[in-house]
Amino acid sequence: MEDEKIESPYLDEEVHLSKYTPLHVVWAMAKITAWQNFAHHPTCSKYKNHYFDIWGLKLCVGCTSLYSALIIFLIAFFNAKAFFTTNVIILPIVYLFGLVALVLHSLIHPSNKWFKSLFRSSLGLGMGAYISIIVLGPTWWIRLILISFIPFEIALFFAIRGKRANLELCEECPLHLADPPCDPMKNTEIKTKKINQLIDSQIEGLKRSRMAKKQETSYDNVTNSGQQENDE
């Protein structure tokens, strides 16, 4: 059985701007750097289960799911605070549910993006529950203790996740030996530089065009002035 062909945007160094407007430039730059700023993984086919593709913009499955669930839970909490205050036991249960999801994700390492999204969403709900527990804390010192645990929990998350999790599939990828080699960092730098060069070229062209118009206008004024003097 043949290996699946790897499709990578980092083998092509060409860039194109359909229009030279601020919006088009920002959108082009956003797509080029999306794997760093939004997808948090290279956006080749090897990482297709690590990002969502929304209108050409790549978004990290884990972060998108986690923060969406966190925001939704907090909206629900602050809009139904009385309910959660009365049924406060729900919050620690949801928090423990999020911790279990984190541990299971680290043990199972699901390859399907929707399972990843499920685990990360569960973690987001747990984070929302923890923040809600802090808000409902009976005294200021209990809230302070709960807040002090947050750096530890963040460190635990990244320790379980691993430092090079975002690039782990690149380490044994055969495209490292391609010509040119697949290098997301270098490719992004080249494309960003080319976009800037296109913009600089366009600005320089506009400057030359304006200068030529000024010179033409100045020449016409001098010519008209000379004609008027001759007429007199």
Q: Within this chain, do residues 108 and 221 fall inside the same structural domain, yes or no?
A: no
Q: Within this chain, do residues 38 and 119 fall inside the same structural domain, yes or no?
A: yes
Burial, 183: exposed, middle or buried (Cβ in 10 Å; 0-12, 13-18, 19+)?
A: middle
Residue 74 reports pLDDT greater than 90: yes
Around Cβ 89, how many Cβ atoms within 10 Å? 9
- Tell me the average pLDDT of the chain: 83
Q: Within this chain, do residues 187 and 175 fall inside the same structural domain, yes or no?
A: no
Mean pLDDT, to the nearest integer, of 85-105?
92
Count of domains for the chain = 2
Kindly report the length of the chain.
Answer: 232
Q: Within this chain, do residues 150 and 111 fall inside the same structural domain, yes or no?
A: yes
**Count of alpha carbons within 13 Å of 230, Cβ hemisphere only?**
6
Q: Within this chain, do residues 70 and 174 fall inside the same structural domain, yes or no?
A: yes
Domain contains 4: no
Which among 140, 163, 179 is the end of a domain?
179
Which residue range(s) make up the domain with 131? 22-179
Q: Within this chain, do residues 166 and 212 fall inside the same structural domain, yes or no?
A: no
Which among 163, 179, 195 is the end of a domain?
179
pLDDT digits (tens, 9 = 90+) for 133-149: 999 988 888 889 989 98
Domain contains 195: yes
pLDDT digits (tens, 9 = 90+) for 180-227: 788 888 888 998 898 888 888 878 877 777 777 777 666 555 565 555
